[in-house]
Amino acid sequence: MALSISLDIASLHAAYQQGDLTPTALIYELLARADSYDKDPAWITRLDRKQLAPYLQRLEGESPETLPLYGIPFAIKDNIDLAGIPTTAGSPAYAYTPTESAFVVQQLIDAGAIPMGKTNLDQFATGLVGERALSDYGVPTNAFNPDYIPGGSSSGSAVVTAAGMVSFALGTDTAGSGRVPACFHNIYGVKPSLGLLSTRGVVPACATLDTISLFTFIADDAEKVLSITATYDDQCAWSREHRFSVHGKRYGTAPKMFRFGVPLASQWQTDAAYTKGMHQAIAELEAIGGIKVELDCSPLLSAARLLYEGPWVAERYHVIHELMESHPEAVHPVTFKITQGGSTPLAVDAFDARYKLAEFKRQADALIGQVDVMLSPTTVTHPSKAEVAADPIGVNSRLGTWTNFMNLLDYSALAVPIGFTEQEMPVGVTLFGRAFDDLTLLSLARALETRLMLPLGATGVAHPALSEHLTTAQNGTMELVVCGAHLQGLPLNHQLTERGGVLVSTTYSAPRYKLFALAGGPPKRPAMVRDTHGQSIEVEVWRLPSETLGSFLTGIPAPLGLGQVELADGSWKCGFICTAGALNESGDAEDITEFGGWREWLTRQS
């Protein structure tokens, strides 16, 4: 069977449901495809038919309706455990055979996914080039052009995904290892928020900064895989529980208006092709409703330099120092040189670096707090293998310019395909934000994807049609309409700002409201009441984190409360309302509708 179907999850499930394909037929075809693929160094271990049989048998009696990843093939970076298969981390001398799969791998298998094998990597996940593999395994080749590097450290996972040997793959990402190879292969690279995916069963690079990453063809698949794997693991010391729905977050269609931050162009450091990609991404985001905000990203770039210039390299040394001492020949020379630097930092160096990082994070958080999402280059160029061979450490450092700070600053990030160079090589950008902004990033990426509809990876397969049945994305914030003492500059405005509130707009209600000044105070408070004989009232719209609404609500005194307020543009938003009948009961509320707003009434009183 010659497989021509798209390997995205929806297409495969449709084929299964229609009887055009079975998981066994798909897997056997993918095995044949891998056999004929001339870039075998992308794999370290491929499962054969006998090893795959239990995973296929497990699907008997199941379907896409019962298992969300029914019959979906995936690959695993070889520093992540798969039960019964050696984990090498790119070193035969380090290899061990686990009896249990990594927590995340087991979740995927339980959801019906089929592991096809373990993929090659920059040894011990140290590197962004994909060139630091021992001769025992060979060096993966870029799926688009063998003269160019595949990117690392999750090189093999990116290559086998882009080449169409799996539907998705697991990598890891400490300093960019899940984003740089995605950028070089026209696929999505999800760098989840730290702790969102358990790292139990993962060989650590820097345990405090590691996360499993995801490679997929399309944003919908990234969200589906993330929804399955983002499960709290109470046996993982680094796991953090976060239920998106509880925090008012949801994947879906992008908002009609949002603000996106962009580094100053002088800070990009990109070559011509990647500069063009940034300009294209900016234009596309503006086309879907984005408002560009240029920001000085110096704090982020300063934090990035701490990763390898500071004591965090000691974490890498901690993992493999015994192997380096007993079998130095088992460690790639470049990896050895970099990691050896971790033997010298003192405890005081670690604290000095932590203090610097805390200051950079304070500055960086204030910076990105001005926008809904950030856009940056994923990397600055796509070097050739010859360029990396000539300067293996220097080129690698340049590739991490826009990736190294993400985990240090506890941000979420997503590498997004944006187009191709004149030489038909992929170009991508990165969307990033605060911790647990993962679904916001994916929602915006899907909006870009809908406009671009790029072919899938390096397969040449046209982008499949996307479902139009998505709800509107939610980013964990809500907009609140205020009309009185909470207006900017007035006595109760601090109740909004101290909860992270940001002024969105000054506007008017629909022409169906009356405004009353309530008795009592200070401070004086108004009541806005819906009335068919009313008029438009000046209001402000503030955006608040959803989790702060409860504490805000408990501080609202009777007869006021929160409900739905209609604005002049016809939209309805949460805002202050007055309890039905309260004005009649008190009898001492003053009708001030004619002033058109609380601020104007206050001015007339002074």
477, burial (CB in 10 Å: exposed 0-12, middle 13-18, buried 19+): buried
Ramachandran category for residue 138: left, alpha or beta (phi over 0 → left; psi -120 to 50 → alpha): left
One of 39, 77, 224, 249 is an active-site residue; which one? 77
At a CB cut-off of 8 Å and minimum separation 6, what does 171 contact? Answer: 77, 121, 153, 154, 157, 158, 177, 178, 181, 189, 212, 213, 214, 215
603: left (phi over 0), alpha (psi -120 to 50) or beta: alpha
The catalytically annotated residue of 91, 153, 412, 443 is: 153
DSSP category for residue 518: P
Determine the Cα–Cα distance for residues 176 and 580; give it in Å rounded to an integer: 56
Cis peptide bond N-terminal to 523, omega within 30: yes
Spatial neighbors of 580 by CB under 8 A, at least 6 apart, are: none
User: What does residue 461 show for φ and ψ, rounded to 5 degrees?
Assistant: -75, 130
Strand partners, 171: 213
Q: Is 256 a catalytic residue?
A: no
Is 198 in the active site? no
Contact in structure between 168 and 133 (CB atoms under 8 Å): no
**Quick check: is 514 catalytic?**
no
Separation of alpha carbons 181 and 216, rounded Å: 12
- Pairwise CA distance, residues 498 & 491, whole Å: 13
Determine which one of 6, 154, 167, 177 is catalytic: 177
The helix-helix angle for 219-229 and 9-18 (nearest 10°) equals 90
Axis-axis angle for helices 23-36, 49-57 (nearest 10)? 160
Strand-pair category, 513-517 with 258-263? unpaired
Provide the b/e sequence for 23-35 (b: ≥16 CB within 10 Å). bbebbbebbeebe
If you search the block for the tokens 């004149």, which residue do you land on? Answer: 422
Query: What is the bridge-based pairing of β-strands 188-191 and 411-420?
Result: antiparallel
Residues paired with 213 in a beta bridge? 171
Number of neighbours of residue 244 by Cβ within 10 angstroms: 19
Coil, strand, or helix at residue 538?
Answer: strand
At 396, phi and psi to the nearest 5? Answer: -60, -40
C-alpha to C-alpha distance for 505 and 475, rounded to whole angstroms: 18
- Distant-in-sequence, close-in-space partners of 2: CB < 8 Å, separation ≥ 6: 29
Tokens 């191709």 locate to 420
DSSP conformation class of 393: H
Rounded CA gap, 64 and 84, in Å?
Answer: 27
Q: Which residues are catalytic?
A: 77, 153, 177
